[in-house]
Amino acid sequence: TDSQRHPASSPQTKGMVRRRRCHLLTFLLSLCLGLSTITSCEVINDEPLAALWMELDHDSIVVMMGDTCRLNMRVLPDTVTNITAFWEVIDTTGVINVTQNGDVIATQVGETDVRVVAANERLQDTCHVEVIEDWREVYDTYPYDMLVYADVDVLGHHNDADGLRVAAFIDGEVRGFGEVRTDHGVTYTLFRIWHYRPRTGNVTFRYYLPHQFATGELEFEMYFDGAVHGQLNNLISITQ
């Protein structure tokens, strides 16, 4: 009879067929790609495929105090959309807060780590976070100052493009912040640099790119002499 020639498959038999097909496809794909290790997969009772791998989009970031940035996680296979994850700060120093959307809020200068853990607790990743001081503070408590009219270009970011921030340092301390201005059709960065002595000390410059979570020291240096350097038609070039 027809039923004897084509017996109805039970749910268990169907599952075995699906597993055999998946193992066979994986085996053939491995032979084509020349893989030495074969990882099999299974589909059981039509359950959604679980995430096999997860990572954050950054291993480490630098954030200025008061700023908020977002970390994003990525899972494989990329068809997985129903994964549930939890975010946490590994220590309780109060350097940052983190939301369940991955938003990192910098509240205090220091260093810590953020961890994201999948609901099954088998997948997790961490990101190291360094919070630096806010360079935009006022430093006019010192008696001497020096003005620098500059054209700043750091890694292709001109003046304040993409949130670029540049500050002046003396002896490792912030002594001035670059304020972007436009006068007579000219856009420039004005540094008012403060010091407790009229003619002493080297001025170095550091940059911060919030969208890249990066900071670094520029190669450009100056000697603090209490004078005015540059003008609108002859800006001091600070490039990296």
For 119-162, write each residue's pLDDT tens digit.
676 889 999 999 999 998 767 789 999 999 999 999 999 988 88
At residue 93, the pLDDT reads 80
Q: What is the pLDDT of residue 135?
A: 92
pLDDT at position 38, please? 26
Task: Among 54-63, 89-98, 133-142, 179-188, name the one with the lowest average pLDDT.
Answer: 133-142
pLDDT of residue 137: 76
Examine the pLDDT at 32 and tell me if it is beyond 60.
no
Strand partners, 114: 89, 127
pLDDT in tens, 45-62: 334 446 678 899 999 999
Contact residues for 53 (Cβ-Cβ < 8 A; gap 6+): 75, 76, 123
pLDDT recorded at residue 31: 38
Q: Is 131 within 8 Å of 170 (Cβ atoms)?
A: no
Tokens of 16: 């075995």
